[in-house]
A and B are shown apart, each in its own frame.
Chain A
Amino acid sequence: MRRVYCPHTEAEVREMLRAIGAPSVEHLFREVPRELVRTGAIRVEGGLSEPELCRRLEALARENAAFGDFPQFVGAGSYPHFIPAAVAEVTARSEFSTAYTPYQPEVSQGTLQASFEFQSIVASLTGMDVANASMYDGASATAEAVLMAHRMAPQRPAVVISSALHPHYLQTVRTYASDLPGMELRTVPYTASGATDLEAAEACLEDACCLVLGYPNFFGVIEDLAAAAALAHEKGAYLVSTTQEALALGLLKSPGELGADVAVGEGQSLGLPMSYGGPGVGFFGCAQKFLRSMPGRVVGETRDERGNRGYVLTLATREQHIRRERATSNICTNHALCALAVAAYVSLLGPRGLREVAARNVRNAHYLAKRLSGIGRLRFFGPFFNEFVLERARAREIWEGMVQMGFMAGVPLGQWFPELDDCLLLCATEVHSREEMEKFARAFEEAAGGGA
Chain B
Amino acid sequence: MKGVVGGLRGGLLAEPLIFEIGGSGRYAPVVCEEEAGGDGEPFPLQEHLLREGVEGLAEVSEPEVVRHFTRLSELNFSVSKNFYPLGSCTMKYNPVVNERLARLRGFSELHPFMHPSFCQGALRLMWELERDLAEIGGMDAVSLQPAAGAHGELAGMKIIRAYHRERGDGRRKVLIPATAHGTNPASSALCGYEVAEIPCGDAGIIEASQLEGRLTEEVAALMVTNPNTLGLFEREICQVAEKIHRCGALIYMDGANLNALMGVAKPGDMGADVVHFNLHKTFSTPHGGGGPGAGPVGVKKELERYLPVPRLIERDGKIVWSEDFPESIGRVRSFYGNFGVMVKAYCYIRTLGGEGLAETSRMAVLNSAYLRKRLEQVLHLPYRAPSLHESVFDDEDLRHLGVSTLDIAKRLLDYGFHAPTIYFPLVVRGAIMVEPTETESKRTLDAFADAVAAVVEEAKTDPDLVKAAPHGTVVGRLDETRAARRPVLRWRAGEADRDR
Check whether chain A touches chain B (CB < 8 angstroms). yes
Within 8 A of A (CB), among B326-355: 329-341, 343, 347, 349-355
Q: Shortest Cβ distance from B59 into chain A, in angstroms?
A: 5
- Interface contact A305-B479, CB-CB below 8 Å: yes
Bitwise, A45-77 to B at CB < 8 A (1) or not (0) is 111101001101111111111111110101011
CB distance from A445 to the nearest CB of B (A): 17
By a CB distance below 8 angstroms, the chain A residues around B35 are 433-434
Instruction: Report B404-423 residues with CB < 8 Å from chain A CB.
Output: 409-410, 413, 418-419, 421
Interface residue? A267 (CB, 8 A) = no
- A105: which B residues are within 8 A, CB to CB? 475, 478
Query: Are A62 and B107 in contact (CB-based, < 8 A)?
Result: no
Q: What are the residues of chain A within 8 A of B128 when measuring CB–CB?
A: 45
Stretch at the interface among A155-163, A206-214, A229-237, A251-259: A251-259
Contact with A along B62-106 (1 / 0, CB 8 A): 100110111011111111110010100101111111010101111
Chain B residue with the shortest CB-CB distance to A368: B37
Are B51 and A279 within 8 A (Cβ)? no
A439 at the interface (CB under 8 A from B): no
Looking at B24-32, B207-215, B243-251, B453-461, the stretch in contact with chain A turns out to be B24-32
- A169's nearest neighbour on chain B, judged by CB, is B334
CB proximity to B under 8 Å, residues A329-345: 329-338, 340, 343-344
Q: Which residue of B lies closest to A128 (CB)?
A: B490
Give the interface centre of A17, A121, A324, A367 by most chain B CB atoms within 10 Å.
A324
Query: Does B188 make an interface contact (CB < 8 A)?
Result: yes
Stretch of A89-97, A195-203, A373-381 contacting B (4+ beta carbons < 8 Å): A89-97
B315 at the interface (CB under 8 A from A): no
Q: Within 8 Å of chain B (Cβ to Cβ): is A291?
A: yes
Chain B residues with CB below 8 A from A403, complex form:
115, 117-118
Cβ–Cβ < 8 Å partners of B66 in chain A: 86, 89-90
Chain B residues with Cβ below 8 Å from A330 are 150, 153-154, 183, 186-187, 189-190
B476 adjacent to A61 (CB under 8 Å): no
CA distance A181 to B331 in the complex (A): 19
| B296, CB-defined interface residue at 8 Å | no
- In the assembled complex, the Cα of A44 lies from the Cα of B97 at a distance in Å of 20
Q: Is B27 in contact with A298, judged by CB distance below 8 angstroms?
A: no
Q: Taking A100-B86, A104-B419 as contacts, is the C-beta distance between A301 and B483 under 8 angstroms? A: yes
| Cα separation A252 to B115 with both chains bound (whole Å) | 32
Q: How far is the CB of B305 from chain A (nearest CB, A)?
A: 15
Give A149 Cβ to nearest chain B Cβ, in Å.
15
Contact with B along A160-177 (1 / 0, CB 8 A): 000000101101101110
B-contacting residues, A403-447, CB 8 Å: 403, 408, 411, 428, 430-434, 437
CA distance A275 to B94 in the complex (A): 19
Contact size range, B? 35 or more
A351 engages B57 (CB within 8 Å):
yes
Q: Does B487 contact A (CB under 8 A)?
A: yes
- CB atoms of B54 and A277 under 8 A apart: no
Q: Which residue of A lies closest to B482 (CB)?
A: A302
Chain A contacts of B194 at CB under 8 A?
A: 325
Residues of A within 8 A of B9 (CB): 308
B451 on interface, CB distance cutoff 8 Å: no
Q: Mark B140-168, 1 if CB is under 8 A from A, else 0.
A: 00000001111101100010010000000
Q: Is B132 an interface residue (CB 8 A)?
A: yes
Tell me the bound Cα distance from A45 to B30 in angstroms: 46
Docked-complex contact A277 and B76, CB < 8 angstroms:
no
On whether A351 and B349 interact (CB within 8 A), knowing A31-B388, A36-B269, A60-B122, the answer reads: no
User: Most chain-B Cβ atoms within 10 A of its Cβ — which of A86, A92, A119, A297?
Assistant: A86
* 8 A Cβ contacts from B7-53 to A: 9, 14-15, 17-19, 25-33, 35-39, 41, 43-46, 49-51, 53
Contact at B158–A179, with CB atoms within 8 Å?
Answer: yes
Asked whether B378 is an interface residue with its Cβ less than 8 Å from the other chain, the reply is no
Query: What's the least CB distance linking B141 to chain A, in Å?
Result: 16
Kindly list chain B residues whose C-beta atoms are within 8 Å of the C-beta of A274. Answer: 108-112
* Chain A neighbourhood of B418, CB < 8 A: 100, 104, 107
* 8 pairs of A and B residues whose beta carbons are closest in the complex: A46-B353, A367-B37, A277-B335, A61-B106, A63-B121, A277-B112, A337-B288, A350-B27
18 A-B pairs within 8 Å (CB atoms) are namely: A7-B441, A29-B233, A29-B388, A31-B235, A86-B65, A103-B421, A104-B418, A114-B72, A176-B190, A253-B51, A274-B112, A278-B335, A308-B9, A347-B18, A350-B58, A353-B28, A383-B49, A428-B37
Having A16-B366, A131-B490, A176-B154, one finds 13 other A-B pairs with CB under 8 Å, namely: A20-B373, A31-B235, A32-B264, A95-B76, A99-B79, A111-B290, A123-B490, A169-B334, A266-B334, A278-B334, A333-B149, A350-B59, A367-B38
